[in-house]
Amino acid sequence: MDARGGTGGSLAGLDLLAEINRLRKERNAVILAHYYQRPEIQDLADFVGDSLELSRKAAATDADVIAFCGVRFMAETAKILSPQKTVILPDMDAGCSLEDSCPPDKFAAFRAAHPDHIALTYINCSTEVKALSDIIVTSSSAEKILSQIPPEQKIIFGPDKHLGGYLARKTGRDMLLWPGVCIVHEAFSETELVKLMAQHPGAPVAAHPECPAHIVEHADYVGSTSGILQYAKDMTGDTLIVATEPHIIHQMSLAMPEKTFIGAPGADGNCNCNICPYMALNTLEKLYLALRDLTPRVEMDEELRLRAKKSLDRMLDMASGTVGQGDLGKR
C-alpha cells in the first residue's frame, strides 16, 4: 500500500527530498509548515510558523501553488487570502477538533438565538463558520481586538472555550462561550505537570491559551506558538517546560541549541499523547504526491470566500500588528 492508501503508485526507491525540491521549482510552489508538523517537513519548508502568518506570507509571494503542511482550516485560510493560487493539502483528512466541534448549521442557530451578540471567532474553524462570524481572532490578536469592542457589546466567543475562558479571566469580559476544545491541549495533566515542575525547580512554564485553566494557572507565560518561541528566546534561564504540541520544540532547539526544552506531560507521564493526530497525517510521501498531482486541492465558492474574508479583514484592520508576533520567520 502506498502513501495514499492504494492510489498514486509505488514510491519505493524514490528520493523524496530531491523529488519534492524538483516539483517545488517546476510548480513554482511555496511550501508552508505549521510549527506542529513533524521535523522533516519543517526542515524542507520555505516558511515555518503560525497558520495565519503563513497564509499571509504565501499571499505575498509570486508562487502559483501553495502546499500547506498543516490542517484543513489553515489551507482554507490560505485560499481565502490567495484565491488565484492553487492550494494543496497533503492529506484532506487533516482536520481539527475545534473545527469539528462547531458545525456551521449549529453555529448559525446559536447566533440566531442570541441576536444581540456579535461573534468573535477563533481562526481554528471552517470557512463556513468564518463566514457566519463578525471578527476572526488568533490567540495573539484576541486581547487587542477585545479591548476595542465597547464593554456593553455582548459577545459570543467560539469555538475554543479554554481560550475564551482565559480571555474572560484576563480582561474581565463576560462572554458567551461555545463549548469546543482542542484535544491536544486538553490532554495535559496538571498532576504530571506539577511533578515535572518539582523535578526542574526554577524552570518556567510556557503554555498555549488553548490549555485548560488548571494548566494555564501554572504558566509563567501564556501565548501563541509564535509568542512561546519568542519567550524561549528572551528568557534568561536555560530550561523551559512547554505546554503545547511538542513538535514546536524542534524550532526551539534549532534556534537555541544551548537551551533545554521539555514537553509538558499528559496523564501517562510523557508528551507523546499530546502529538496532534491531525497534523501527523501529513508526511513527505503525501507532500510529494500532492505536488506531483496537485491534489488534494482546496476549492471554494467565491461568495463564501468573500463572506469569510470580511471577518478576517476586520481582524487585520483591528490588530494586524499582532499576527505572527514572535515568528522565527523564513528558514
pLDDT tens-digit map of 191-202: 999 999 999 999
Q: Which fold has domain 184-274?
A: Rossmann fold (3.40.50)
Find out whether 35 and 49 touch, Cβ atoms under 8 Å: yes
Superfamily holding 16-95+279-300: NadA-like (3.40.50.10800)
Mean pLDDT score, 229-258 = 97
Q: How confident is the model at residue 272 (pLDDT cuts 50, 70, 90)?
A: low
Residues of the chain within CATH 3.40.50.10800 domain(s) are 16-95+279-300, 98-182, 184-274
Mean pLDDT score, 239-244 = 97
Q: Mean pLDDT lowest for which of 155-164, 196-205, 216-225, 322-331?
A: 322-331
Which grid coordinates are listed for 289? 504526491
Return the H-helix or E-strand segment holding 143. Answer: helix 142-146
Q: How confident is the model at residue 268 (pLDDT cuts 50, 70, 90)?
A: confident
Q: Which fold has domain 98-182?
A: Rossmann fold (3.40.50)
Tens of pLDDT along 306-318?
999 999 999 999 9
Mean pLDDT score, 158-176 = 97
Residues 212-222, buried b or exposed e (16+ Cβ, 10 A)?
A: beebbebbebb
Inter-CA distances, 273 with 47, 187, 235, Å: 27, 7, 27
Find out whether 117 and 176 touch, Cβ atoms under 8 Å: yes
- Where in the chain does DSSP place strands (E)? 29-34, 47-49, 65-69, 86-88, 117-122, 135-137, 154-158, 176-177, 205-207, 221-222, 239-243, 260-263
Please tell me whether residue 190 adopts helix, strand or coil conformation: helix
Question: How far apart, in whole angstroms, are the C-alpha atoms of residue 154 and residue 118?
Answer: 6
Find out whether 51 and 323 touch, Cβ atoms under 8 Å: no
